[in-house]
Amino acid sequence: MANERLRGAIIESGMTLDQIAEQLGVSAKTVERWINDPKRQPYRRFKYATASLLQREMSYLWPEERTSAEVTEAGNAELIKLYPHRSVVPNRLWTQLYASAQQSFDVLVYSGFWLTEDAAFHQVVKEKSTAGVRVRFMLGEPDSAAVTVRGADEGIGGAMAGKIRNALVNYAPLFGLPGVEFRLHSTTLYNSLYRADDQMLANGHLYGVGAYMAPVLHIQRVAGGELFDAYAESIERVWESARPITSPTDLGGSDA
């Protein structure tokens, strides 16, 4: 399996393989092997040099360098607070979280209907749009198998699809705003994820109960941590597979 973290860090740096190789004193072919062949890892001195050059933690680029104790310690540092139920999360926290966003503003849910009725949240979206922040909404494809199953799991059946449609109607004023994008996904979600830059609220899904009764993790990105990035990477995977829509009524083409 290729080292996608190393590949991604090089791409984000804006440097070519030749430039990376020149800085490290190796050939471009060597750097390419570090990316594509996990058995051909660099010597530790090159790992340190590469991490410094790319401004990443060495343990991020090569996770196997870390001990289980280091992983645990970093993971503990990533957790800001655990709420036993979403219903006990302070209402102001959601808008405060998104009000702080400067680059990443993501909402990954099936419906997230409760949030669509929050006028303060709508205002934050509009303000971030004006400020040039990219805002991404990912809601469930109403007629997809995943939504049908989740509705059954929560004991509300077809009402889940109805909640999604209603949520889209509530979001109608946000469609067309600069930088605000909507997509529908058919993914099986194990968490609803609410991300603003390097902080995130992860609302777990439990069989037989609504998400409002499930735990919420308030986490932050910490150097050397893996928890935040694991959730953030799942957001990207859903986004890439989801279907763009341009209006609340653009519901054709589901996989039902």
88-97 confidence digits (pLDDT tens) = 999 999 999 9
**Nearest Cα residue to 149 out of 177, 110, 104:** 110
226-238 confidence digits (pLDDT tens) = 789 889 989 999 9
Q: What predicted TM-score, i.e. pTM, was given to this entire model? A: 0.73
The CA distance from 4 to 229, in Å, is 13
Q: Judge whether residue 154 has pLDDT over 50.
A: yes
Q: Hunting for tokens 């289980």 — which residue is that? A: 68
Q: Judge whether residue 254 has pLDDT over 50.
A: no
The CA distance from 226 to 163, in Å, is 33
| Residue 147 exposed, middle or buried by CB count within 10 Å (0-12, 13-18, 19+) | buried
The encoded tokens of residue 228 equal 């935040």
| Helices 17-24 & 28-36 angle (0-180, nearest 10) | 110
